[in-house]
Amino acid sequence: MESPLPGVELRYHDLPGLRMHAAHAGPEDGEPVILLHGFPEFWYSWRFQIPALVEAGYRVIAPDQRGYNLTEKKGPYGVENLVRDIAHLQDHLGIERSHIIGHDWGGVVAWAFAGFEPGRTKTLISMNAPHPSAYTETCRKHREQIKMSWYIYFFQLPWLPERMISKDNYKNLDAMFRGIPKELMTEDDIALYKAALNQPGALTGALNWYRAMGRRLVFSLGRAPKVDIPAPTLVIWGERDIALSKHNNDPLPKFVQDLRVEYLPKATHWVQMDHPDEVNRLMLAFLHEHERNETE
């Protein structure tokens, strides 16, 4: 299988209960970094971060998460199962601990992983992804977040979201990525995203993450479990996000022991793609600082 990104090897991994597809790059003896994509994406969303991490000597693993692209399409899609997928991937690759970096839904999984698997998390970097408890608190205190989350309620419906997103060769995907400069999101790039969503069962698999979250919030009366984060944590947040308010970061000090938040005023929700140089600078500086602290 040929990768669209030079220097990246694509592999399948037979994990407990899931066949996972993932991109690999960098030296096998490098510090492992696991990159977790969001919706409606796949491993390729990290195309600007992977080369920077490899050049810095890191071992990079970027999976297609459960239900996405070439990874197996089956539930359950609850966050505990998504966290187990990453722990199983670590086990499969012989990794005891890794840096965890996530964007959007991948960031939600990263938050949960760092909370549920603290011994397996060296550092956490979250990009435009709310901490689960902070998100529910923000919805209660800032009603504009509920309005911004309208699509989550729409995605609870059966079959209609699939039809709307896939209509006219996934034309809505062009609109989603419109804010990214064309030189950073080319027509060829968008074609890859469309092909990933068009894999059999992939669009429904991706939407089932939202459906699982919706059911959980209903049964828990709108409250997420408290997730404390002991790992050093960096939040990178594009302020032009139309889906997630920056107020999601206000409650974070209650849940995160070692926190740094960096805002990029001109970046959108797709922060790692529309401002890759700034994101890479912040990401690598944070990782290098953590390495220095461990050796002192």
Catalytic residue from among 104, 189, 241, 274: 104
Q: By the 8 A CB rule, do 90 and 36 touch?
A: no
Which is nearest to 10 in space by CA: 192, 207, 275? Answer: 192
99 is catalytic: no
Catalytic residue from among 58, 64, 210, 290: 210
Which is nearest to 237 in space by CA: 151, 149, 125, 105? Answer: 125
Which is nearest to 273 in space by CA: 23, 107, 45? Answer: 45
Q: By the 8 A CB rule, do 114 and 100 touch?
A: yes
3-state helix, strand, coil in the chain (%, to 5): 45, 20, 35
241 is catalytic: no
Q: By the 8 A CB rule, do 200 and 293 touch?
A: no
Whole-angstrom distance, CA of residue 207 vs CA of residue 40: 9
Q: What is the largest CA-CA distance in the chain?
A: 57
Whole-angstrom distance, CA of residue 11 vs CA of residue 239: 35
Report the relative pairing of strands 59-63 and 18-25 from DSSP bridges: antiparallel
Q: Tokens 């912040």: give the residue.
A: 282
Catalytic residue from among 21, 131, 269, 275: 269
Whole-angstrom distance, CA of residue 113 vs CA of residue 84: 8
Paired with 36 in beta bridges are 102
210 is catalytic: yes
Catalytic residues, which ones? 104, 210, 269
